[in-house]
Amino acid sequence: MFLFSIYLTVLIGFYRVHADSSLDEREIPLHDEAKLHKDLLHDYNVDDRPVQDYKNTVTVKLRIALKYISFDSLEETFTMHSWMALTWKDVNLKWTPSDYGGIKEIQIESHEIWTPRLALFNADASLYQSDSFYTTCLLAYDGIVTCVPSVAHTGICRTSLRRWPYDSQNCTLFFGSWMHTGEQVNFTFYQKQPVVTDDYQNGPGWRLMNVLNERLPGKYSCCPNTTYPMLKYTFVMKREAAGPAAIVVVPSIVIVILTLTSLVLDVKDNTRLLMTCFSLFGHFIFLTEIGYDIPKHSSDTPIILLFVRDSMIVTLAAIIVTLLLMSLRRRMLPPPTWIVSINRLVSNGPGKYVIFTEFDPNDTTEVKVLSEDGNSSSANEDRTRNAADWIQFANLLNSVVFITALIVYLILIISYIPRDN
């Protein structure tokens, strides 16, 4: 214990001595850069707009070097990561290079000088986004300040998802001064290359097609002497569609083919009913599956979802029709005369080429023999003949249903399947 306190005393004593000696050493003369820095910031107020007369304008030039863009179409927010080059002239930060050993440029921390506050007007307000920045700026002897902060801006972007996954979106960011008028702080673009995309990398799922920039003068009828200019950047982006197309578009065509194929199959065969039911089941699974992938809360639903919905209804109709046709085929009662006459009409007219005949050749020959030898009086033959009429009518209906389904699908595909253009 005793030893320990001696140790502590020595330590504190040593520290004191050391601190005192470092205080003495501070009398070393400043070199030119430090002297310039000290002189520039002497009596400088970071809150004062750097103008000689309050009526003068500080013109701030802006250049965006895009780095990365990410886009959340579910949340409808758009984030731009960039280096923003801001340049303006600060009349209070000038010097004569010959007074300071010929120094023409120095680095200065942005919090030590006045900086323009660049606000994003359509910002996602749920995130805290400061309109000031902290970085090291470059200052030239004529008062030109250049700051290049690396910043991310998140804005709200309304999306239109009708053509998902082949959609392209336009997202716009509006920048300007939150409180200063255009007469106090005038934001403008760099004349050369206001937007640089040399170092740009595409974000996940999106390809940047174009960036448009425009300066809105911000003249309003209320205030003829003041303007509220805004810098508008529009990003035209296209979705990388190969992945979503493989997941959604191709399978939806597969289930359509499954439903159509099942309609060609023989009604007698249980495979047809099985296949149609399987297709309906597939629709359910598929809808559940793509529900996770598709942004479905947008004001306009992706049309591919409507396609799968309608295809499901068609498949359900196919099941009902199949059951109906199965029961028709089993009928033994004499068919109504209109059915017989429709059968005659179709089998004698050009319609016979459109009708699928039975796949089982025995059935067809039976029907043919019976229709040729119509005068039989035996009750048994009568029953067979009735059955043949029903079967023929069922085949007729089946063909009509198939053609209708085909047409419905053609219309659905033309109007609902999004295409890449």
Ligand X SMILES: *[C@@H]1O[C@H](CO)[C@@H](O)[C@H](O)[C@H]1NC(C)=O
Positions in the binding site for ligand X (CB under 6 A):
57, 160, 170, 182-183, 186, 188, 224-225, 236
Least distance in Å: CB of 59 to ligand X?
6
Q: Record the tokens describing residue 175, joined without a space.
A: 């920048």
Shortest distance, CB of residue 295 to ligand X, whole angstroms? 15
CB of 188 to ligand X, least distance (A): 4
Which lies closer to ligand X via its Cβ, residue 160 or residue 384? 160
Distance between the two ends of the chain, CA-based, in angstroms?
A: 85
Of 57 and 384, CB closest to ligand X: 57
CA distance 324 to 328: 6
How would you list the strands of the sheet with 206-216, edge to edge?
118-120, 168-177, 230-239, 206-216
347: Cα separation from own chain's centroid: 55
Which one, 83 or 228, has the nearer CB to ligand X? 228
According to DSSP, the residues that pair with 175 across neighbouring strands are 120, 231
Cα–Cα distance between 84 and 401 in angstroms, integer?
Answer: 63
Contact at 8 Å (CB) between 329 and 268? Answer: yes
Least Å distance, CB 225 to ligand X, is 4
Between residues 186 and 262, which has the closer beta carbon with respect to ligand X?
186
Q: Please write down the long-range contacts of 367-375, taking CB distance under 8 Å and 24 or more positions apart.
A: 367/391, 367/392, 371/347
Q: Kindly tell me which of 160 and 357 has the beta carbon lying closer to ligand X.
A: 160
Contacts of 373 (CB under 8 A, 6+ apart): none
Closer to ligand X by CB, 172 or 347: give it. Answer: 172
Cβ distance to ligand X smaller for residue 59 or 371: 59
Tell the smallest beta-carbon distance from residue 163 to ligand X (Å). Answer: 9
68-94 as b/e: b if 16+ CB within 10 A: bbbbbbeebbbbbbbbbbbbbbbebbe
* CB of 29 or CB of 224, closer to ligand X: 224
Minimal distance in Å, beta carbon 55 to ligand X? 10
- Cβ 182 to ligand X shortest distance, Å: 5
Smallest gap, in angstroms, from Cβ of residue 207 to ligand X? 14
Beta carbon nearer to ligand X, 129 or 188: 188
CB of 16 to ligand X, least distance (A): 59
Q: Nearest distance from residue 337's CB to ligand X, in Å?
A: 60
Q: What is the CA radius of gyration of the chain?
A: 40
Determine contact, residues 336/395, Cβ cutoff 8 Å: no
Quick one: 160 or 364, whose CB is closer to ligand X? 160
Backbone torsions φ then ψ of 359, nearest 5 degrees? -80, -25
Distance, CA of 203 to CA of 22 (rounded, Å): 52
